[in-house]
């Protein structure tokens, strides 16, 4: 008898465990049976968030079962019959408009989460998560520091974007940026960008990279290299070596072991196509950005006396004096390159055709201006002489002779583009689609005349100067862009490669620029950056201010930190970020190429006879103070999100130690020039110690290949050369 009772108790226990009652609410998520795939994905994402936040018992189904469950209806009357059956007015939404709205039907409380398109419905699902305290960062989600109350009533959120085009740029160049990301790391980032409601992903690629293959008149593309061909060993004596997990070289994971041209092209095109596929699946439009007037050096034979273009390692050529704006061979080569990209990536939506960063095709400016005038009448408004004068006298980096050269090269290229884009077959895609075109980096002196220079239906993306601060200081230039007649977006630099590997903040300038975009009728923006680690506030602010033009960076940061780190964390975080912005400004004002990630980045200071400038010590102190603030925040932040504050503390520590290293290197170089070996050795020892500390600080929290790329670059260009110099003494 006791044995039977024991077995019965065991069975009952197993049954109770199998039917354990959920601690959280029961929620039914209703999505239309025939709803678009993105709405089914939105239901799955919402279900995951409900389980994570509330330990909810969630069921996803296609119809209301009439239970007492909490109901969340996904979609719109057009995609979800359950919403249509309610018979309540559904607001008219644009294809980007979305809502989260509480509804009471009889005794049933329910929530509608929907939008004017499938991707807008997905954004609505993420907006509900944001309402409950989830904060979407570039590295992942941060759940709320305080568990929110679950309730479906009292919600009435309706969002329409003021800036309709929110573009995120990726790939770029240099190992410190997303050129070092494999497809898997790109996918993680793109998923976070979707949560932040960025709606276009732009792949910015260069002629020497392994992302396209083509031939022209028997000449085959042969260059397929990352990072300008630089190599970064990370074995042996490498500071922060553990982050490389035993690898001998730092490489993009998708290219490991790919040695031949064919192997690298196959890996590169597979990666880029995969990036495009992921973005499209998440409702983003996709774009390729490249300069159609730049080619790998192997095509020089097709263009007699073509020019070696300005750039690292002289990897590209462009048209020279013998190639006029109507040169048929040049036109054929440009079209061959464009068609190669469209054939390789038939799912892309838009081409961003960049004018060269250093336009060097000014020999044909007079002829081109005459042609532009005959087509548009621009000569009645201005002259080539006036435009050249304006470019020469402005307060930009591209001024003086460089500004005049840029202006003249732009004039020739724009006339060439007008002729090229007259060929409608050039942009054809499968299924009757046609790629859209955006012309990028038109010289600012030409802004007032864009409607005379750009073909109808073509958009523009504008670059004014290298940093957001420099652009904000030249705000009057932006006011000359005819945004009402030419679709216009602005490049927003979040982190510049000239300021380089150091922590950067530019939120004050970003606010100035976003205010202008809102007021000036701009279509939107595109980001520009290399290192991701410092950009969570910038990415979050741009995401939210695109829907709420009154939002300030301070309000955005308070919303971000209070939810993720807890009450009382905003003030010190804001102070830390302000200190880093001050350091960024000092570097930008005093040495724009200070930490550009190229071979002489550290050792150029050893060769300098100039004394250590005062601003370096100030910048180091600012990073130190910012580091201390973030360590204080880390001590009080909620355990689950301390990695956010700790990462920033160590990044700012890296900045401080980097500047300490550079100051010591400069002093060592001066001592060497004077023959003072004792001081030279002492300062070299300090430099090695500081750089070792910087790299160890970053390696302790490295979370992306941007971080690992910085460590690899500075070992090769700083740590090892300094140790070699020290050992030679």
User: Of 159, 187, 219, which closes a domain?
Assistant: 159
Give the domain CATH number at 31.
3.30.379.10
Whether 55 is covered by a domain: the verdict is yes
Domain range holding 111?
26-159
pLDDT score at 67: 63
How far from 158 is each of 112, 283, 556, CA to CA, in Å?
11, 20, 19
pLDDT at 356: 80
DSSP-assigned states of every residue in 17-54 = HHTPPPSS-EEEEEE-TT--HHHHHHHHHHHHHHHHHH
Q: For 490-523, how does the pLDDT look when each residue is reduced to its tens digit (9 = 90+)?
A: 999 999 998 989 999 999 999 999 999 999 999 9
Residue 298 resides in a domain: yes
pLDDT averaged over 10-residue windows placed end to end, the chain, 729 residues: 49 45 84 97 98 96 80 96 90 97 88 98 98 97 95 95 97 96 98 98 98 97 95 95 96 97 98 98 98 96 92 92 94 98 98 86 93 95 95 89 92 95 95 96 95 94 95 96 96 94 96 98 97 96 98 97 94 97 97 94 94 97 98 85 95 98 97 96 98 98 97 98 91
CATH of the domain at 336: 3.20.20.80
Gap between the terminal Cα atoms of the chain: 91
Is 639 in the same domain as 713?
yes
Contact 680, 621 (CB under 8 A): no
Q: Are residues 489 and 579 in the same domain?
A: no
The two three-digit tokens of residue 426, written as one number: 């050039």
455 and 365 within one domain:
yes
d(CA 547, CA 77): 24
Together in a domain, 236 and 383: yes
Residue ending a domain, among 520, 550, 580, is 550
Backbone angles phi, psi at 425, to 5 degrees: -75, -15
The residues facing 514 across adjacent strands are none
Q: Taking CA 104 as the corner, what is the angle to CA 103 and CA 110, rounded to the nearest 5 degrees?
A: 60
The total domain count for the chain is 3
- Asked, for residue 250, whether it belongs to a domain, the answer is yes
305 and 269: one domain? yes
Name 103's bridge partners: 110
Asked which of 159, 176, 194 is the last residue of a domain, the reply is 159
Residue 299 belongs to some domain of the structure: yes
Position 7 in a domain = no
Contacts of 59 (CB under 8 A, 6+ apart): 26, 27, 28, 29, 69
The C-alpha atoms of residue 59 and residue 42 are separated, in whole angstroms, by 14
- Do 535 and 598 fall into the same domain? no
- The model carries a pTM of 0.94
Q: What is the pLDDT of residue 94?
A: 97
Q: Are 150 and 176 members of one domain?
A: no
Domain annotation covers residue 241: yes
Q: Are residues 206 and 245 in the same domain?
A: yes
DSSP 312-341: GGG-EEE--TTS-TT-HHHHHHHHHHHHHH
Q: Based on the domain organization, do 244 and 321 belong to the same domain? A: yes
| Pick from 145, 197, 147: nearest CA to 541 | 197
Contacts (Cβ under 8 Å, ≥6 apart) of 460:
438, 439, 440, 442, 450, 454, 481, 486, 487, 488, 489
* Same domain? 533 vs 576: no
Q: What is the pLDDT of residues 291-348, one digit of tens each?
A: 999 999 999 999 999 999 988 899 999 999 999 999 999 999 999 999 999 999 999 9
Domain for residue 410, yes or no?
Answer: yes
Same domain, yes or no: 442 and 328 = yes
Q: Dihedrals φ, ψ of 45, to 5°?
A: -65, -40
Residues 6+ positions from 225 with CB-CB distance below 8 Å: 208, 209, 210, 264
Report strand pairing: 165-171 vs 200-204.
parallel
CA atoms of 89 and 20, how far apart (whole Å): 40
Question: Do 177 and 153 sit in the same domain of this protein?
Answer: no
The predicted structure's pLDDT at residue 107: 79
Question: What's the pLDDT at 17?
Answer: 46
What is the tens place of the pLDDT at every residue in 46-89?
999 999 999 999 999 998 876 667 999 999 999 999 999 988 88
Query: Does residue 442 form part of some domain?
Result: yes
Other beta carbons within 10 angstroms of residue 643's beta carbon come to: 16
């Amino acid at each position: 008898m006791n044995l039977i009772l024991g077995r019965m108790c065991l069975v009952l226990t197993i049954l109770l465990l199998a039917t354990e009652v959920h601690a959280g609410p029961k929620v039914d998520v209703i999505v239309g049976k025939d709803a678009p795939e993105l709405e089914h994905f939105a239901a799955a994402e919402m279900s995951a968030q409900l389980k994570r936040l509330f330990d909810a018992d969630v069921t996803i189904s296609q119809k209301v079962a009439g239970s007492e469950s909490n109901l969340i209806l996904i979609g719109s009357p057009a995609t979800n019959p359950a919403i249509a059956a309610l018979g309540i007015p559904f607001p008219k939404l644009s294809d980007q408009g979305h809502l989260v709205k509480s509804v009471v039907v009889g005794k049933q409380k329910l929530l509608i989460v929907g939008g004017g398109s499938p991707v807008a419905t997905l954004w609505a699902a993420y907006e509900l998560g944001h309402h409950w305290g989830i904060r979407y960062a570039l590295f992942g989600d941060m759940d709320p520091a305080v568990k929110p109350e679950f309730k479906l009533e009292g919600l009435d959120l309706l969002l329409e974007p003021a800036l309709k085009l929110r573009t995120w740029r990726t790939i770029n160049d240099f190992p410190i940026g997303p050129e070092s990301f494999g497809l898997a790391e790109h996918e993680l980032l793109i998923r976070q960008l979707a949560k932040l409601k960025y709606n276009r992903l732009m792949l910015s690629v260069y002629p020497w990279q392994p992302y396209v293959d083509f031939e022209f008149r028997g000449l085959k593309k042969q260059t397929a290299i990352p990072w300008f061909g630089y190599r970064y060993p990370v074995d042996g004596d490498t500071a922060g070596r553990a982050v490389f997990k035993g690898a001998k070289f730092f490489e993009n994971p998708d290219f490991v072991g790919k040695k031949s041209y064919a192997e690298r092209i196959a890996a590169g095109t597979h990666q880029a196509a995969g990036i495009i596929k992921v973005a499209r699946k998440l409702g983003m439009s996709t774009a390729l950005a490249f300069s159609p007037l730049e080619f790998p050096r192997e095509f020089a034979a097709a263009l007699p006396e073509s020019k070696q273009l300005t750039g690292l390692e002289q990897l590209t050529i462009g048209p020279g004096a013998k190639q006029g704006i109507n040169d048929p061979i040049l036109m054929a080569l440009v079209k061959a390159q464009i068609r190669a990209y469209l054939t390789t990536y038939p799912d892309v939506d838009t081409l961003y055709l960049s004018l060269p960063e250093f336009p060097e095709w000014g020999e044909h400016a007079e002829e081109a201006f005459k042609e532009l005038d005959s087509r548009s009448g621009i000569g009645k408004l201005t002259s080539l002489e006036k435009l050249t004068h304006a470019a020469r006298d402005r307060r930009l980096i591209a001024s003086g002779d460089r500004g005049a050269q840029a202006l003249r090269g732009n004039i020739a290229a724009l006339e060439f583009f007008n002729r090229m884009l007259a060929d409608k077959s050039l942009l054809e895609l499968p299924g009757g689609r046609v790629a859209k075109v955006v012309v990028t980096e038109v010289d600012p002196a030409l802004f007032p005349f864009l409607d005379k220079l750009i073909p109808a239906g073509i958009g523009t993306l504008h670059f004014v100067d290298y940093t957001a601060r420099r652009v904000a200081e030249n705000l009057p230039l932006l006011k000359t862009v005819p945004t009402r007649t030419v679709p216009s977006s602005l490049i927003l630099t979040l982190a510049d490669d000239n300021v380089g590997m150091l922590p950067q903040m530019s939120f004050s300038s970003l606010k100035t620029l976003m205010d202008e975009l809102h007021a000036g009728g701009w279509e939107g923006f595109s980001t520009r950056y290399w290192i991701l680690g410092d950009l969570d506030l910038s990415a979050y602010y741009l995401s939210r201010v695109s829907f709420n033009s009154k939002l300030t960076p301070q309000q955005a940061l308070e919303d971000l930190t209070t939810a993720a780190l807890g009450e009382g964390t905003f003030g010190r975080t804001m102070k830390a970020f302000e200190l880093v912005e001050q350091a960024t400004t000092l570097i930008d004002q005093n040495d724009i190429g200070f930490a550009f990630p190229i071979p002489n980045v550290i050792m150029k200071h050893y060769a300098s006879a100039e004394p250590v400038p005062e601003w370096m010590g100030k910048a180091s102190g600012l990073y130190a103070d910012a580091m201390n603030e973030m360590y204080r925040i880390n001590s009080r932040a909620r355990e689950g999100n301390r990695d956010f504050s700790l990462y920033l503390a160590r990044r700012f520590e890296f900045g401080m130690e980097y500047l300490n290293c550079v100051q010591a290197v400069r002093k060592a170089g001066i001592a060497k020039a004077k023959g003072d070996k004792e001081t030279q050795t002492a300062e070299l020892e300090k430099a090695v110690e500081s750089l070792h500390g910087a790299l160890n600080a970053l390696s302790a929290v490295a979370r992306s290949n941007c971080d690992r790329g910085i460590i690899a670059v500075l070992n090769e260009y700083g740590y090892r050369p300094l140790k070699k110099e020290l050992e030679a003494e």
